[in-house]
């Protein structure tokens, strides 16, 4: 049995993945992987996801240059959620990293306050400049 066979893939052959920054422990993003994406991630040591909107593998940073070096991969107790501990790359040393396509550090930048969602993380780089 392959290590990939131990995973409980959903009905579409996908696995939910949480990417957490190793340096700060910030949750950066949520994404999906299929078997090929997870195998490729393990092979190259960088995050490769399955993009449902693109309908193809998506090597994180392929357009933006904001790569995710995989430090550790952890499967949950039910074998149906993956936690990636990553080093978010692509910015000068000391600058906050960018994981979100909105140009923010984390995709989880909206906080619920007083009946509405409010952006609480700044845009670090204009998305128009990040994506070609």
Q: What is the pTM of this model?
A: 0.92
pLDDT value of residue 92: 84
Q: So what CATH class is 3-95? A: alpha beta
The residue-averaged pLDDT of 108-123 equals 96
Q: Can you tell me which residue has the tokens 């960088």?
A: 46
> How do strand 15-21 and strand 82-88 relate by DSSP bridges?
parallel
Cα–Cα dist 16/87, whole Å: 19
Q: Where are the domains of the chain?
A: 3-95
* Radius of gyration for the alpha carbons in the chain, expressed in angstroms and rounded: 15
In the predicted structure, residue 127 carries a pLDDT above the cut 80: yes
Q: CA angle, 61 as apex, 131 and 3 as ends, to 5°?
A: 145
Cα–Cα dist 84/47, whole Å: 8
| Residue 56's pLDDT band (cuts 50, 70, 90) | very high
**35-47 pLDDT per residue, tens:** 999 999 999 999 9
The residue-averaged pLDDT of 54-72 equals 95
Q: Which of 79, 93, 86, 78 is nearest to 28 (CA)?
A: 86
Q: Can you tell me which residue has the tokens 């990553």?
A: 86
pLDDT value of residue 93: 82
Q: Of the ranges 19-33, 73-87, 91-105, 109-123, which one carries the lowest mean pLDDT score?
A: 91-105
């Amino acid at each position: 049995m392959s290590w990939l066979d131990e995973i409980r893939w959903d009905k579409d052959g996908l696995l939910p993945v949480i990417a957490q920054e190793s340096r700060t422990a910030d949750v950066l993003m949520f994404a999906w992987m299929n078997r090929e994406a997870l195998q490729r991630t393990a092979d190259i040591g960088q995050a490769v996801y399955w993009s449902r909107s693109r309908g193809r593998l998506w090597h994180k940073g392929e357009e933006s240059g904001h790569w995710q070096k995989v430090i550790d991969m952890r499967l949950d107790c039910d074998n149906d959620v993956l936690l990636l501990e990553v080093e978010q790359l692509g910015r000068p040393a000391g600058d906050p990293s960018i994981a979100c396509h909105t140009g923010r550090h984390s995709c989880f930048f909206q906080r619920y306050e007083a009946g509405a969602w409010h952006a609480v993380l700044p845009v670090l780089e204009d998305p128009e400049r990040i994506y070609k």
